[in-house]
Amino acid sequence: MSKIGVFICHCGENISATVDVARVAEAAGQIEGVAFSTDYKYMCSDPGQTMIKQAIKEKGLTGVVVGSCSPRMHEPTFRKACQEAGLNPFMCEMANLREHCSWVHDKSEATTQKAIDLVRTLVEKVKLNKPLYSIKVPVTKTALVIGGGIAGIQASLDIANAGHQVILVERDPSIGGHMSQLSETFPTLDCSQCILTPRMVEVAQHPNIKLMTYAELEKLEGSIGSFKATIRKKAKSIDEDLCNGCGTCTTKCPTKKIPSEFNTGLGMRTAIYVPFPQAVPNKPVIDKENCSYYQKGKCKVCEKVCPTGAIRFDQEDELVELEVGAVVIATGFDIMQPSGFPEYGYGKYKDVITGLQFERLASASGPTLGEIRRPSDGKIPEKIVFVACAGSRDPAKGIPYCSKICCMYTAKHAMLYQHKVHHGKSYIFYMDIRAAGKNYEEFVRRAIVEDEVNYIRGRVSKIYEENGKLIVKGVDTLSSAKPVEIEADMVVLASAAVANPGAEALAQKMHVSYDSYNFFSEAHPKLKPVETNTAGIFLAGACQAPKDIPETVSQASGAASKVIILFSKDELSRDPLIAVVNRSPAPVFSTCVGCFMCASACPYQAIGEELITNRQGKVIKKVAKVNPGLCQGCGTCVAFCRSKSIDIQGYSNEQMCAEVIALLNHE
Amino acid sequence: MTEFEPKIIAFVCNWCTYAGADLTGTSRIKYAQNVKIIRFPCTGRIDFMLLLKSFGEGADGIIVSGCHPNDCHYTSGNFHARRRWIMFRGLLDMLGIDVRRIQYSWVSAAEGSKWADIVNSTVNTIRELGPYTEYEKVAGYLEKEANQ
Amino acid sequence: MDKEDLSFKVRQDTGVNVRECYQCGKCTAGCPVGERMDLRPSVIMRMLQSGDRASEEEILRSNSIWLCLTCETCYSRCPMELDIPKVFDYLREKSYAEGKVNSQSSDIVTFHKSFLNAVERNGRLHEMSLILDYKIHSGNLFQDIALAPEMYSKGKLHLLPEHIKDKKGFARLFKDQFKKRKS
Amino acid sequence: MKIGFYPGCSLTGSSREYNESLLAIAKEAGIELVEINDWNCCGATAAHNLNKELSLSLPARNLAIAEFEEMDELVVPCAACFNRLVMTQHELAEKEELKKIISEKLQMPLKNEIRILNVLQFLEKHIVPCLDLLVKSPLEFDVACYYGCLLVRPQNVMKSERFEDPMSMDTIMQKLGANPIDWPFKTECCGAGFSISKTEIVGELSGKIVRNATDRGAKAIVVACPMCHSNLDMRRSAIDNYLNMKMDIPVIYITQAIALAMGLSPRQAGIQRHFVPVNLTVNR
């Protein structure tokens, strides 16, 4: 005979404001098998927990139901409390009276009645709960970091320096990410590559870091502590051990007119190429789509000139399987192609460019060696217009959010322009200046006051070309919305920061959730900003939302420390809410008929065979057996089993039925 | 005369819809009291016999909701659920249960308002359909199932 | 929103919630007649947000609402997809009904009225009568005097109007339409 | 093939040539445009400036008539009329109540289902397919296709893709052998209904359009709207005043262009009715 304790929480006023908690506790007391029932202002508080512990001891409770917030919030808290009082933690269940009741309904009889129903349902369930013992999993102390931008670099270095193994996977031929494309960085105007490249080299040389460039995640299985990752190493068509990075091949390659991704199409590269001089690793790859050998079957110039004979045309993609204990996603962001802006003529007029393209123009390593020259005719622009919020804060273009970094980099762009073109005039059309950050506001003021950048508050409606000039039709909303028309030589659009094109697919491979803009979702907006809702997978940088460098670096270190904390233990305990095949005494052994429908349905290949033999060792019966190490407890097998021989601990058929019945029969 | 208040059970998965419904709460979006949630690890876990059971026990309507396609926390549970749901519809016809009494949907952890909409629209649909009365039929069927 | 606010009435009639406007000014920036307006589109949206009676009066008496060409450029580019032309339609109708038409716009309104008169009379627009009616009411007797003969010579003007047959049914459409107007 | 036809007031007067050329090319293509019986003025800008109900009831009457005559397509060559009719159909489709009121006022049933075609849609659907056969004397010169406001905006109702840089007219002109230039004023406003009341505004706005087209080497501006045409053609003096120089680029209707390409005589195309002399044989 079970003795259940029911504890109803007011959650301050959050529940008690719309639910008559006293009545809920009272009604719960009437339920058969309930030995104790009460309500209290804050069940999660110390006194609240003590109240539960005492009741368990004094009343000898066999099960506990806490009617309070969502189990996703406090289930661990209360289960721990029960454990401390000597009750098996899995004998404690929570009725969600806040998120699913008091917060979504108005104060009324029906609301209180619903609360009572929810509590009764869980009481009936907990009656059927069985003590469970968590499963121990060993921790593989190797971290997988996906993305080799500043976020991935920082996370890798931190984890590696803590003495753990790191595998850093980068999609492109070199690490460095967007930061390596930037000219100077706000608010200090120090050269981006000067501060980044040492870190890149450190990564390459670190004994604990295994670098895999030109590679992508193919598959991720398993769970926290013991993931199995499959990486696709795309064929670089060179033997990395033989190649010494002399660069002869890249200089000799006849196919020279390929728009360079690194220079955002403003410069050219060859078919066999190193994306940029400081690339890490500084070894080339062959771009098959553009290589005349792969396309037309002849050329092989690189092979002829290579002093070490490192070219491998027959090289194929390679799939590598890795055991890792944790994953850090640091895949960064992309910028919205302003082709969504017919009124601004991007793609139509050569001299309308994006902010990232301007970075390359301003960069000493860029196509113009740092001189601001417009793409169309190489002329130095006398008048330049910057358009902030090009795509951002623009629901009509599908991006209602603020990209956060544009205000600062646009101020920086204008500043750099003024420093390089002294007689030039620069204008920035903006809606608001968002410069919250250490020394940010001061930076913007400097641009306005000292560098005489002209800020005009208003959006641009149209940009068109008329005899060699770009006519920018804007407005000054701060002087009775006077229309402003500027004849500019060049226009820079601060195009919105968006999620990487591959983000959605990647999220699905790893089963982490993502928002409607395909940015990865953190586990809690405030208290778990680097965790995902999948244990053991963490977030760093702009893959979670637009971020500037300082923020990215701090989040990366945050993610790294989470990994290090995880690796500080040798084994983890996992919830035992997994599938089991029933066993019964001879001669039945199990109701399982060995059809293995379950095995075919299992997404984790967690179900194998078990042979039941008699004393003579003769096989009498073949039944299914769940491998507790692999089973994740989804329960798909349960729904498939026709003989009802397999069940999920904690979500058993019996328990679910009890819930259904309890929920429906209240009169 | 008071309006018919349907009894509706929601079978939802722990990772997407349950969290989505939590978000509805945190965003203080109001919806009808008629729907009560039972938490499952995954829609793949849901044995559709449980749905019949619910009708047998006097439910007027049911919501089944989990992760969007490809977003399943367990890779493919929601696909299995979908396939079984399609087979299950046939059975519903056989038992003369109006398919509209079951709302099959996807609600992610980020779709708090969508959850509220689904609840309210389902409640309205069921109100129009009126109470479900033929439990005996279902109960009978379930017994047969059990005895096999 | 106060039920007395003009913004409230605007929302009721047009479904446009002026609070959604965040004053980026893109509407004004692209407006073909923005330069000439006394109150530019974005300013009018701002004044509507204020809920200030004096501003509302100013809007209804403004020249801008009549200068608007309803070319829909503002609407097509508004980041918030606010139907500003629809708002202006409402403001014009109200301004006209309450006899608050700005003096500088009188010729525009006169033209519109003459146009409708011509239509009311014949069911179809007879350009000759339109021009005559307009000249009489606006007083610009000599404007376009050069144009008419050439139009006539090119067969673009008929001396006699075409009439539609169902005059009664058609008249019904105009019944009571302009009673509201104070004179 | 019979298709409903709503000429609208301008086509019976100031833009007769539009009407004439349209009917001429339809005839060539073997298409009969049936003028709907006893149609009335759509109310144009005037109505929706002064009186919402009229701005709906006037166009609605024509829709009702067309539906009564069991037309499933209604061609409305005048861009202004087209805009009013489509906007009305849209508004009434959204507001069932309003539709009832208007329908009662009309004392006519109103299904509000008829498909309304503007001239470009009509040409694309019914004329373009047979152009290859009918084009006799290709127009081999640069043209500036000018769409104006009413054919493309509001884009959510007009369902216009590329509303900033429409191409439908350009493609048709290409089929006629002409070379449509890429220019930024395709959908800028010409001054519309201010032709008479605020001529100086028309002078400025149309002036900018005419100048840009000329600067970019167009030999003619092609239009599909009587208001645009009268502003760019009949108001040329106001334009010249604004630009203080004489602009002689002619303005022709797309239908006239087709007529000429089909080898019809300038007279059949109504060319002689223009204020700005059209002489397009120059650089053949």
Output the pLDDT for position A56. 96
**What global pTM score does this model have?**
0.82
Q: Do D50 and C162 touch (CB under 8 A)?
A: no
Output the pLDDT for position B2. 67
Output the pLDDT for position A47. 95
Cβ count within 10 A of residue A306: 21
Q: Quick check: A344 pLDDT over 60?
A: yes
Is pLDDT larger for residue A633 or for residue A490?
A490
Q: Quick check: C182 pLDDT over 50?
A: no
Q: Residues B1-18: pLDDT tens digits?
A: 467 899 999 999 998 999
Instruction: Supply φ then ψ for residue A425, to 5 degrees.
Output: -115, 130
As a whole number of angstroms, the distance between CA A457 and CA A441 comes to 17
Question: Using an 8 Å Cβ cutoff, are A627 and A606 in contact?
Answer: yes
- Say what percent of chain A tops pLDDT 90: 85
Question: Using an 8 Å Cβ cutoff, are B84 and B44 in contact?
Answer: no
**D167 contacts in A (CB within 8 Å)?**
none
Residue from D156, D164, D208 whose CB has the most chain A CBs within 10 Å, to mutate? D164
As a whole number of angstroms, the distance between CA D114 and CA A132 comes to 69
Residue of D nearest to C82 (CA): D154
**C131 contacts in D (CB within 8 Å)?**
196
pLDDT band at A632; cut points 50, 70, 90: confident
Domains of chain D listed by start with CATH number: 2-119 (1.20.1050.140), 138-273 (3.40.50.11810)
Name the residue among C24, C31, C41 with its Cβ closest to that of A459: C24
Mean of pLDDT over chain C: 88
Q: Judged by CB atoms within 8 Å, which residues 39-58 of C form the interface with D?
A: none
Domains A142-234+317-332+502-571 and A335-498 share a fold: yes
Name the residue among C112, C158, C173 with its Cβ closest to that of D58: C173
Q: Quick check: C6 pLDDT over 70?
A: yes
Dihedral (CA of A232, A238, A242, A244) sign: negative
Q: Do C29 and A475 touch (CB under 8 A)?
A: yes
User: Domain A335-498 falls in which CATH fold?
Assistant: FAD/NAD(P)-binding domain (3.50.50)
Q: Residues A453-512: pLDDT tens digits?
A: 999 999 999 999 988 899 999 999 999 999 999 999 999 999 999 999 999 999 988 888
Mean of pLDDT over chain A: 94
As a whole number of angstroms, the distance between CA C51 and CA D9 comes to 42
As a whole number of angstroms, the distance between CA A232 and CA A255 comes to 27
Name the residue among A105, A110, A636 with its Cβ closest to that of B77: A636
Output the pLDDT for position A627. 86
Q: Quick check: C143 pLDDT over 70?
A: no
What is the mean pLDDT of the segment spanning D154-176? 88
As a whole number of angstroms, the distance between CA A429 and CA A415 comes to 15
CA distance A483 to chain C (A): 5
Report the top-level CATH class of A579-648: alpha beta
Is pLDDT larger for residue D69 or for residue D1?
D69
> What is the distance, to the nearest Å, from the Cα of residue A651 to the centroid of all Cα atoms in its chain?
29
Q: Thinking of the domain A142-234+317-332+502-571, which architecture would CATH place it in?
A: 3-Layer(bba) Sandwich (3.50)
CA distance A367 to chain C (A): 34
Is 0.90 exceeded by the ipTM? Answer: no
As a whole number of angstroms, the distance between CA D178 and CA A15 comes to 74
SS3 labels along A453-481: CEEEECCCCEEEEECCEEEEEEEECCCCC
Output the pLDDT for position A1. 75
Output the pLDDT for position D282. 38
Question: Using an 8 Å Cβ cutoff, are A601 and A637 in contact?
Answer: yes
Q: Which of A189-203, A526-540, B88-102 has the lowest mean pLDDT?
A: B88-102
Q: Residues A292-334: pLDDT tens digits?
A: 999 999 999 999 999 999 999 999 999 999 999 999 999 999 9
Q: Residues A235-292: pLDDT tens digits?
A: 999 999 999 999 999 999 999 999 999 999 999 999 999 999 999 999 999 999 999 9
> What is the distance, to the nearest Å, from the Cα of residue D267 to the centroid of all Cα atoms in its chain?
20
Q: Quick check: D1 pLDDT over 70?
A: no
Domains of chain B listed by start with CATH number: 8-147 (3.40.50)
Q: Thinking of the domain C6-99, which architecture would CATH place it in?
A: Orthogonal Bundle (1.10)
As a whole number of angstroms, the distance between CA A254 and CA A270 comes to 7
How many beta-carbon contacts under 8 Å exist across A and C? 74
Report the top-level CATH class of A4-132: alpha beta
Name the residue among A397, A459, A462 with its Cβ closest to that of C25: A459
**A477 contacts in C (CB within 8 Å)?**
23-25, 28, 42
Alpha helices, DSSP H, located in chain D: 9-12, 16-28, 44-50, 52-68, 79-94, 96-106, 119-122, 131-134, 155-158, 168-175, 199-215, 226-229, 236-243, 254-261
Mean of pLDDT over chain D: 91
SS3 A364: coil
SS3 B40: strand
Q: Do D184 and A466 touch (CB under 8 A)?
A: yes
Q: Residues A100-144: pLDDT tens digits?
A: 999 999 999 999 999 999 999 999 999 999 999 988 889 999 999
C143 touches chain D (CB under 8 A): yes
Q: Which of A398-412, A434-448, C9-23, D193-207 has the lowest mean pLDDT?
A: D193-207
pLDDT band at A338; cut points 50, 70, 90: confident
Is pLDDT larger for residue C137 or for residue A147?
A147
**A464 contacts in D (CB within 8 Å)?**
184-185
pLDDT band at A222; cut points 50, 70, 90: confident
D124 touches chain C (CB under 8 A): no
Q: Quick check: C179 pLDDT over 70?
A: no
Q: Which of A211-220, A484-493, A616-625 has the lowest mean pLDDT?
A: A616-625
Q: Provide the residue ranges of all domains of chain C, joining segments of one domain with +.
A: 6-99, 104-174
Cβ count within 10 A of residue A60: 13
What is the mean pLDDT of the segment spanning D225-254? 94
Q: Quick check: B118 pLDDT over 70?
A: yes
Q: Provide the residue ranges of all domains of chain A, joining segments of one domain with +.
A: 4-132, 142-234+317-332+502-571, 248-305, 335-498, 579-648
Q: Do C79 and A475 touch (CB under 8 A)?
A: no
Compute the 3-state secondary structure of chain C and give helix, strand, coil in percent, each to the nearest 5. Answer: 60, 0, 40
